């Protein structure tokens, strides 16, 4: 495949598609976090901190900062999905970030100022699943790219 075909997106690899899909999901979550009804207790949403009682889908504690982070993480996924190495770095690096967030959420007092994002127990479990899932995709799909490159 020529570089120009890759640049046009004519033939994305599975790892690039995975990073793009993950990025789109994060963008959607960031947008949904700003929609009353989809986010319950919307009127209590604060910029950041544990005082926000806004819950995305009635489960995940969100704030304006939390939603902005989702939007930025989604945009990064779309930008990095343009190359195989960018997609791999996004999935594995992003997965590591989410595992760190999971640990952070476990060790902080959720009713303290340390919970500035904010996170709740549902967020913590989601961060664990996202971390493992993103790293798993990045590693598994990198192997396929390396294998197919070796056969050509």
Q: pLDDT tens digit string along 50-100?
A: 888 899 999 999 999 999 999 999 999 999 999 999 999 999 999 999 999
Q: Higher pLDDT residue, 113 or 146?
A: 113
Length of the chain: 152
Q: pLDDT band for 4, please (50, 70, 90 cuts).
A: very low
Residue 3 is predicted with a pLDDT of: 46
Examine the pLDDT at 46 and tell me if it is beyond 60: yes
Helix, strand, or coil (residue 120): coil
Residue 145 is predicted with a pLDDT of: 61
| Lowest model confidence (mean pLDDT) among 20-29, 60-69, 112-121 | 112-121
Examine the pLDDT at 1 and tell me if it is beyond 60: no
Closest CA to 114 of 59, 25, 50: 50
Residue 144 is predicted with a pLDDT of: 64
Q: Mean per-residue pLDDT for 3-30?
A: 82
CA Rg value for the chain: 17
Q: Higher pLDDT residue, 4 or 122?
A: 122
Q: Give the CA angle between residues 136, 125, 94 to the nearest 5°.
A: 40
Q: pLDDT band for 119, please (50, 70, 90 cuts).
A: confident
Average pLDDT value over all residues in the chain: 88
pLDDT over 70 percentage in the chain: 88
Phi, psi (deg, nearest 5) at residue 40: -80, 160
Please state the pTM of the whole predicted model.
0.84
């Amino acid at each position: 495949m020529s570089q120009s075909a890759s640049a046009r997106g004519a033939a994305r690899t599975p790892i690039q598609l995975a990073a793009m899909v993950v990025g789109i999901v994060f963008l959607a979550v960031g947008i949904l976090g700003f929609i009353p009804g989809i986010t319950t207790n919307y009127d209590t949403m604060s910029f950041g901190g544990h005082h926000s009682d806004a819950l995305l889908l009635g489960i995940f504690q969100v704030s304006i900062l939390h939603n902005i982070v989702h939007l930025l993480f989604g945009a990064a996924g779309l930008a990095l999905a343009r190359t195989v190495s960018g997609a791999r770095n996004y999935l594995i690096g992003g997965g590591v970030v989410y595992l760190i967030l999971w640990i952070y959420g476990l060790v902080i007092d959720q009713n303290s100022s340390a919970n500035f994002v904010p996170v709740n127990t549902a967020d913590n479990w989601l961060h664990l699943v996202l971390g493992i899932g993103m790293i798993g995709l990045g590693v598994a799909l990198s192997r396929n790219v390396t294998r197919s490159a070796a056969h050509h």
